[in-house]
Structure 1
Amino acid sequence: MATRYWIVSLPLQASSSASSLWTRLQDSISKNSFDTPLYRFNIPNLRVGTLDSLLSLSDDLIKSNNFIEAASHKIRRQIEDLERVSGVNSTSLTVDGVPVDSYLTRFVWDEARYPTMSPLKEIVDGIHVQVAKIEDDLKVRVAEYNNVRSQLNAINRKQTGSLAVRDLSNIVKPQDLVTSEHLVTLLAVVPKYSQKDWLSSYETLTTYVVPRSSKLLHEDNEYALYTVTLFNRDADNFRTKARERGFQVRDFEYNSETQESRKQELEKLLRDQDTLRSSLLQWCYASYGEVFTSWMHFCAVRVSVESILRYGLPPTFLSVVLSPSVKSEKKVRSILEGLSDSSNSTFWKVEDEGSMGGFGGDADAYPYVSFTINLI
């Protein structure tokens, strides 16, 4: 599938028809750039109104097009991210049941959704409002999904971080701890390079430490986790002395109910994440189609408006879609310019390389209407 297309309109000569110009264009492309796909872009007779109304509308066309295009790409990127995380084999997106590029190259105006007798400003404003609503819905849905992901990431950090910060509940077992009226077991996080220091000094850090009570429970790349049992009344003093020697005593209390609650919370978050991800992905598939459909109808309006402002009334132009390769672009531009030798369009030809010409502030100027559609 090509990812970049040109939508172009060419002015009709007084003595030629759209069908004859289409035939000439087909012949020129097939002879000089046979690898360039070429399609008619059929635009119905729209309610034009006055030139003043078109000039007023044209001021907002580029801004609105950028907004709609950005919304389309945002949803597409979200789909790609969700498919990658879900392990879904990316399939071709569809619009109204057909591949995206097919919808563009075989575009048919939807009269039911966008009556051609409606004022153009009403059509454009309606499209903008619809896309804005979809973009707002996307923000809400993505925020909800990301909130659950953030909670899970926080839990994972606690479970996979270093012993200095991670959750110890899945490491420490009830039998590792001694808790009585007079005795308590503390958990000390010891830098790995200080393990010998710990083993040789923990019994003497304070007066009431149980001899040979320290046991190694777990190690990671940086730290080792040891237990130490002592009299309860001496616990605070031991914490202070241990900290002075570079040993961290972690607060920990084993509670079976808390453990079960954390497990259930994790399981619920995992279910919620899967549900929200699946729901968001399905919503994105449907919404991408909605936005792309709206975008192509907007492009049809834009081609019509720009062509009338460029060539004048009544509307006399041929609109087409092309997808030239990078190496064929100059050749195709030359063909299009050769077919645009009209007194109505010569004003727009480039006079020097520094001019910005081209309706709508395009970087390049051509004697015909042209703008680019990037599908990705």
Structure 2
Amino acid sequence: MASRYWVVALPVQQTSSATSLWNTLQDSISKHSFDTPLYRFNIPNLRIGTLDSLLALSDDLVKSNSFIEGVCSKIRRQIEELERASGALSSSLTVDGVPVDSYLTRFVWDEAKYPTMSPLRETVDGVHTQVAKIEDDLKVRVAEYNNVRSQLNAINRKQAGSLAVRDLSNLVKPEDIIVSEHLTTLLAVVSKFSQRDWLASYETLTTYVVPRSSKKLYEDNEYSLYTVTLFSRDADNFRNKARERGFQIRDFEYNPETQESRKQELERLMQDQEAFKASLLQWCYTSYGEVFSSWMHFTAVRVFAESILRYGLPPSFLSVVLAPSVKSEKKVRSILESLCDSSNSTYWKTEDEGSVGVFGGDTDAHPYVSFSINLV
């Protein structure tokens, strides 16, 4: 699949016809740029209105196109991000089950959705409104997904940080803690370089420490987690003495109900994240197709309006889609220009005949109507 296409409209001369111009273009492309795919881009006869209305519409089409193309890109990037997060293989983007490149190269105007007798302004505004609604929906759905993901990431950070800051609830078992009328168990975070010092000194930091009560529960790259059992009345004094020696006593209270609640919350958030991700991905696939379809109808309106302004009335032009390679662009531009038979051809030339502007910005660089469609 090509990543960039040109949508071009060539003027049909009074002594010729769209069919003969199409045949001539096919022959020229096959002889001089045989690696360039070429397709008809069928645009129905749309309601023209007045010249003033076309001129006013033409100014707005550039801005609207940038907006629509931007929404298309946002949805595509969101799909790519979700697929990377899932580790899933990328699925091809489609419009009503048809790959987007095929939809473009075999474009058929949807009369039911966009009646050709409607004013062009009404059609354009309808497309813009629909795409704006999809963009708003995208923002809401992404915000919901990111909110759940942020909550889950916050929990994971607490569980993955160093022992000095991480949640200790999943590291401590009921049997590690002694809580009675007179005794309590504290949790000490000890630097890995100070473990020998801790084991040698914890029993004598205060008077009422249970001998040989310290046990290592866990260690990471920086710290080790130890228990120590002592009389409850001596706990505050022990904390102060431990701090003076560089040992951190973590506040911790083992509560089975709290532990179970945290576990259930984590499981719920994981399930919610997967559900939001799957729902958002499916929505993005569907919405991308809707936006792309709207974009192609919008493009057809642009080509039609620009061709009327460029070539005059009655409408007499041939619209096509091409996908030249980079090395073939200059040759294809030359072929297209030669078929314009325009006295203004020299005026329309640019310093770099092979250059192509962005969609909506390259029409004035050539003696024919030309827009670019970027699919990636």
Measured against the shorter chain, the TM-score band is: over 0.9
Aligned to 1:371, the other structure's residue is in SS state strand
Amino acid at match of 2:310: R
Give the aligned partner of residue 366 of structure 1: 366
- 1:264 Cα deviation after fit: 1.3
Does the 8 A contact of 1:11 with 1:342 survive in 2?
no
Identity of aligned residues (%): 79
| Other-structure match for 1:349 | 348
Q: Distance in 1 between matches of 2:315 and 2:372?
A: 22
State the 1:347 CA deviation: 7.1
Using the TM superposition, name which of 2-11 and 306-315 deviates more: 306-315
Could you tell me which amino acid in structure 2 is paired with residue 74 of structure 1?
K
What are structure 1's unaligned runs of at least 5 residues? Answer: none
Displacement of 1:363: 8.8
What does residue 237 of structure 1 align with? 237
Distance 1:317 1:172, change over 3 A: same
Q: Secondary structure at the match of 1:110?
A: coil
> What is the aligned partner in structure 1 of residue 314 from structure 2?
314
Secondary structure in structure 1 of the residue aligned to 2:171 = coil
Contact 1:348–1:357 (8 Å) recurs in 2: no
Tell me what 2:103 maps to: 103
| Alignment partners' CA distance in 1, 2:18 and 2:140 | 47
Alpha-carbon offset, residue 235 of structure 1: 1.4
Q: CA separation of 1:335/1:230 partners in 2, compared to 1, >3 Å: closer, same or farther?
A: same
Tell which deviates more after alignment, 179-188 or 103-112.
179-188
Matches of 2:97 and 2:352 in 1, distance apart? 44
Q: Which residue of 2 aligns with 1:214?
A: 214
- Asked if structure 1 preserves the Cα contact closer than 8 Å seen for 2:42 and 2:107, the reply is yes
The answer to whether the 8 A contact 2:42-2:319 is kept is: yes
CA displacement, residues 125-175 of structure 1 (integer Å, 9 cap, x when unaligned): 110110010011011111111111111111111222211122111111111
Task: Tell me how far 1:205 sits from its aligned partner.
Answer: 2.3
CA drift at 1:351: 6.0
Q: How does 1:58-97 map to 2 (within 5 A)?
A: 58-97=58-97
> Structure 2 CA distance, aligned partners of 1:61 and 1:242?
72
Residues 170, 64 of structure 1: CA spacing in aligned structure 2 closer, same or farther, 3 A cutoff?
A: same
Distance (Å, rounded) in 1 between the aligned partners of 2:333 and 2:185: 81
1:318 is paired with a residue whose SS is: strand
State the match for 2:35 in structure 1.
Answer: 35
Secondary structure of 2:365's aligned partner: coil
Where does residue 114 of structure 2 map in the other structure?
Answer: 114
**Superimposed CA distance per residue, residues 164-197 of structure 1 (whole angstroms, 9 cap, x where no aligned partner):** 1221111111111111122211101111111112
How far is the alpha carbon of 1:353 from its aligned partner? 6.1
Instruction: Give 2:261's aligned residue.
Output: 261
- Paired residues of 2:348 and 2:364 also in contact (CA < 8 A): no
**Higher mean displacement: 171-180 or 236-245:** 236-245
Partner of 2:146: 146
CA distance in 1, matches of 2:362, 2:34: 27
Normalising by structure 2, we get a TM-score of 0.95
Match of 1:293 in 2: 293
Q: Where in structure 2 are there 5+ consecutive unaligned residues?
A: none
1:329 counterpart residue number: 329
Cα separation, 2, equivalents of 1:297 and 1:276: 31
Give the C-alpha shift of residue 335 in structure 1: 0.6
The amino acid that maps onto 2:345 is T
Change (3 A) 1:111 1:318: same
State the match for 2:8 in structure 1.
Answer: 8
What is the match of residue 134 of structure 1? 134
More off after superposition, 137-146 vs 303-312: 303-312
Amino acid at match of 2:53: S
Q: Secondary structure at the match of 1:108?
A: coil
Give the Å deviation of 1:243.
Answer: 2.0
RMSD (Å), alpha carbons: 2.0
Q: How many residues align?
A: 374
Q: Secondary structure at the match of 1:238?
A: helix
Whether the 8 Å CA contact 1:214–1:227 is kept in 2: the answer is: yes
Range 72-81 or range 60-69, more displaced = 72-81
What's the offset of the Cα at 1:303?
0.6
| Structure-2 separation of matches of 1:319 and 1:63 | 22
